[in-house]
Amino acid sequence: MAARCSAGLGVLALGLGLVSPASASPVSAGQATAATPERGVAARVVGSGSPSSCTSGAVVKAVKAGGKVTFDCGSDPVVIVMKRTAKILNTNPKTIIDGGGLVTLSGAGTRRIIYQNTCDPKQVWTTDHCQDQKEPLLVLKRLRLVRGNSTGDRSEGGGGGAVFVRGGRLKVVDSVFDRNRCDRVGPDLGGAAIRVLSHWSRRPVKVSGSTFTRGRCSNGAAVSSIGVSWQVRDSVFRRNKAIGRGANPARPGSPGGGSGGAIYLDGNTFTLRLARVRMENNRAREGGGAIFFVSNDRSGAMTISASTLRSNPSAGFENYPGIFFLGKNKPKFINGTIVQ
């Protein structure tokens, strides 16, 4: 659990001497070409050529079966409103959900969209060390996930409005997360778009070419994790808000939360690496309008390169503009990163 800090806003002018090269702007979602492991997995197709054939039930069934899930819903973009959460079975080594740039999965503001939990017996235990196992691997590719909502579900600590992952691995490629939600208050829950608790062998969650917008949650209105590393490149975080109040641990008389407008990371040894990332107009009611990073044992490290952080107000506290950081040494800002 993170220690609450009351650092003043007077630390905004740090004189970091950072400049903004033309190359600092990230590419738009859809341009990233990160390879994903797709060989040797069974093919599953949702739909039979028409939008009406692409149903929530078909998605749930295909995801449960595992392998590579693609969609045949016609040539136009389609929105599939999920009536149930699609859940990963731990007996399936790989589940790759590829929307082809045309498919939106919507939680309709009422439910989480995708769930993976290696420690959930309902999804089948496959090892005696469920909190740290290599499989399953979940890949989300060329997909839109919108209006997911885990509000009221405090199992595993809550959070993960669109996607919840505990154990195994997660990779996100060329995807869009918009208007996702999780609980409005709480000291250490978060991740309106993605919440990750434990990830195999301290390997990072990898995100590329993706966009996170208009998320709302107590903390981490885009992504959140405990003791998990992240590697994010060529991505955008915009207009996300951490709306809890009272920080962590919660101030007396408050419900807690309000930190990490876009990203909320807590735990001990973990890293955050951002490359060619744009973060703007994210907000936190407490600390870290863009990023809240607390390594409790001060072993964690953060590196931000060729990125732009602009207009990410922290209403409570920060020790860099838009960032609250407690970790090993100081954050590394490389290659003309803007922080203002």
d(CA 150, CA 220): 14
Measured at the alpha carbon of residue 208, what is the angle toward residues 206 and 210, in degrees to the nearest 5? Answer: 120
Answer yes or no: is pLDDT of 325 > 80: yes
Q: Quick one: pLDDT at residue 170?
A: 98
Give the model's confidence band at 142: pLDDT under 50 very low, under 70 low, under 90 confident, else very high. Answer: very high
Q: Quick one: pLDDT at residue 337?
A: 78
d(CA 135, CA 202): 13
d(CA 304, CA 298): 18
Answer yes or no: is pLDDT of 268 > 70: yes
What predicted TM-score, i.e. pTM, was given to this entire model? 0.90
Answer yes or no: is pLDDT of 34 > 60: no
Answer yes or no: is pLDDT of 116 > 70: yes
Write the burial class of residue 39 (CB in 10 Å: 0-12 exposed, 13-18 middle, 19+ buried).
exposed
Give the model's confidence band at 11: pLDDT under 50 very low, under 70 low, under 90 confident, else very high. Answer: very low
> Higher model confidence: residue 15 or residue 125?
125
289 Cα distance to chain centroid: 16
Answer yes or no: is pLDDT of 296 > 50: yes
Three-state SS for 265?
strand
d(CA 157, CA 154): 5
d(CA 259, CA 274): 19
d(CA 91, CA 249): 37
> Higher model confidence: residue 187 or residue 1?
187
- The token pair that represents 192 in the structure block: 């309106």
d(CA 8, CA 12): 9
What sign results for the dihedral spanned by CA atoms 64, 206, 287, 6?
positive
Answer yes or no: is pLDDT of 25 > 80: no
* Eight-state DSSP code of residue 330: -
Answer yes or no: is pLDDT of 103 > 80: yes
d(CA 327, CA 164): 25
d(CA 163, CA 145): 9
- Mean pLDDT (the chain) is 90
Average pLDDT over residues 231-252: 97
Cβ–Cβ under 8 Å, residues 291 and 321: no
Q: Which of 68, 72, 47 lies closest to 57, judged by CA?
A: 47
Hunting for tokens 């997360």 — which residue is that? 177
Q: Quick one: pLDDT at residue 37?
A: 54
Helix or strand holding residue 332 (H, E): strand 332-334
